[in-house]
Amino acid sequence: MIPATATIGKTDVTATALGLGTNAVGGYNLFPDLDDQAGIDLVQAALNNGINLLDTAYVYGLGHSEELVGQAMKGFDRSKIVLATKGAHDFSTGTEVINNDPEFLTAQVEASLNRLGTDYLDIYYIHFPDKITPKAEAVGALQKLREAGKIKAIGLSNFSLEQIKEANADGYVDVVEDEFSLLHQDNAKEMMPYLKAHHMSFVPYFPLASGLLTGKYDKNVTFADDDIRSQIADFQEPRFSHALAAVDQIRPIAKAHDATITQIILAWYMQNPLISVVIPGAKHADQVVANAKSMAIRLSHTDYQTIDDAFNWFKTTESGKSLADPE
């Protein structure tokens, strides 16, 4: 079966509906005990199993993820890879600052191209909005890079709907990346329909909600104080119990498709008309291979609606973000 694909915004960039998030590829500042070769292996597993979109960012390992992704792509046909990265984090003063200044973004793109070992990016996202730079001015800098052939599609990440509208004043924005999952549906109320209506793609991050949507947890699970999951509201009551109950309703559908709960959840995202590409992360190549199998699953209308209905509680409960945005 040929995987479903999505055209990014108004561009000619075509991605598989399932991509790969690479924050655990070289993201040593985000995860402990990462292995560089394991990161390279899982990127190559994605490319070898029909996934063509790779999503990275400067802040994943402060450039190290980009370096590893670049190494992993060697030997593959670059023209068949959809390469996305993100920038906005400025450490030049010794502390983390979000910076959307046009000169800074231009320099960031050039640095990313160098680390990735490529002469163009299929998608470049402004990773977070700053509090100073006019949004359309920041996007205008990326448009100049697009005209120079350095970028094919312009993206925004972690922008509010009002900020998206401001940034897209000249119609240059093609794609928005933000949090959305069956446990975090705030963006489905206004942002995602707006993007669809204005021919902008939507790419959700944290689609598996830190593993809570994989079916691997039960009510007895506990986390150490230094485990980030102990700080996330999804793992606290009442959200945790509602999530477990909803996931339990997916088990019969997974069994009927001879699939895992993770694969069924990913298939649901790929059939959601408001979503263009879903980008689950992974730490090991076997996880990527398993996720790739979800591209062959076609849910019936009844299955799709059953999954949708199972998470109704999360539609009517404001979820907020799993992790706070940087200042």
Catalytic residue set: 60
Inter-axis angle of helices 102-116 and 64-73, to 10 degrees? 40
Cis check: omega of the bond before 238, within 30 degrees of 0 = yes
Closest by Cα among 81, 88, 109 to 19 = 81
Alpha helices of 127-284 — where are they, by DSSP H? 135-147, 161-167, 191-197, 239-248, 251-256, 261-271
Look at residue 86 and give its three-state secondary structure.
Answer: strand
Answer whether 322's CB lies under 8 Å from 184's CB: yes
Closest by Cα among 246, 286, 282 to 264 = 246
Residue 94 DSSP class = S
Residue 195: both structure tokens together? 């993007």
Residue 220 CA to its chain's centroid (Å):
29
Residue 296 CA to its chain's centroid (Å):
20
Answer whether 153's CB lies under 8 Å from 13's CB: yes
Give 135-157 as a DSSP string. HHHHHHHHHHHHHTTSEEEEEEE
Residue 223: both structure tokens together? 């986390």
Pairing between β-strand 19-21 and β-strand 53-55 as defined by DSSP bridges: parallel
> DSSP 3-state helix, strand, coil percentages of the chain (rounded to 5)?
40, 15, 45
